[in-house]
């Protein structure tokens, strides 16, 4: 599989990795393609894979009863999603849908775990990247919640 190492180096999760370490990542990866509108995974599915967008756009959304689909984010080339599934066993918390035709780099949870066991230095670097990603997403969620409260006004 031919992967753009420059794209991987620019991806927050893989910043700071050597070319050799990036090669180990691509060595456990596969490439998948989805047509526009195709569901990649559903809210509640068992999470066993991580995705990096190589080309195209992916919509992360929730389905709200009585309202329909609510898009939480539109992710583009270089963005990634599903990373929490590599760390925990909780089900997916949202839908991922190909917003356009999309090419994805996919890493399976079991392959990722084996890689981390074999290379402790790489594991250390990747786990710190995961921590930074989760902190950033938590901060973004806090800002969205704060904005929601500002828009809805005080509770009575």
CATH number of the domain where residue 107 is located:
2.60.120.10
pLDDT of 3 reads 66
pLDDT, tens only, 10-66: 888 888 899 899 999 999 999 999 999 999 999 999 999 999 999 999 999 988 888
Q: Give the separation between CA 35 and CA 126, rounded to whole angstroms.
A: 30
Residue 14 lies in a domain: yes
Q: What is the pTM (predicted TM-score) of this model?
A: 0.84
Beta strands in 22-119 (DSSP E): 29-34, 39-41, 49-55, 58-64, 68-75, 80-81, 95-98, 102-108
The residue segments making up the domain with residue 137 are 5-145
Looking at residue 155, what is its pLDDT? 56
pLDDT for res 145: 81
* pLDDT number for residue 30: 94
Give the pLDDT confidence score for residue 154 in this predicted structure: 65
Confidence of residue 88 (pLDDT cuts 50, 70, 90): confident
If one counts the domains in the chain, the total is: 1
The reply to whether 49 falls in a domain is: yes
> What is the pLDDT, as a whole number, of residue 57?
98
Residue 139 lies in a domain: yes
**In 3-119, which ranges are continuous DSSP H helix?**
5-10, 19-27, 109-118
- Whether residue 155 is contained in a domain is answered as no
Domain presence at residue 30: yes
- Model confidence over 98-135: pLDDT tens digits? 999 999 999 999 999 999 999 999 999 988 888 888 88
CB contact set of 143 (below 8 Å; sequence gap of 6+): none
156 falls within a domain = no
């Amino acid at each position: 599989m031919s992967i753009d190492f420059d794209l991987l180096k620019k991806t927050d999760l893989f910043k700071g990795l050597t070319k050799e370490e990036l090669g180990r990542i691509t060595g456990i990866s596969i490439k998948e393609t989805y047509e526009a509108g195709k569901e990649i995974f559903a809210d509640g599915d068992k999470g066993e894979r991580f995705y990096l967008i190589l080309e195209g756009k992916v919509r992360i959304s929730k389905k709200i009863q009585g309202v329909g689909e609510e898009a939480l984010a539109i992710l583009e080339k270089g963005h990634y999603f599903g990373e929490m599934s590599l760390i925990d066993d909780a089900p997916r918390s949202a839908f991922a849908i190909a917003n356009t035709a999309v090419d994805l780099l996919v890493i399976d949870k079991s392959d990722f775990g084996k890689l981390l066991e074999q290379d402790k230095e790489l594991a250390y670097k990747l786990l710190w990247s995961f921590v930074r990603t989760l902190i950033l997403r938590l901060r973004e969620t806090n800002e969205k919640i704060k904005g929601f409260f500002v828009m809805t006004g005080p509770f009575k």
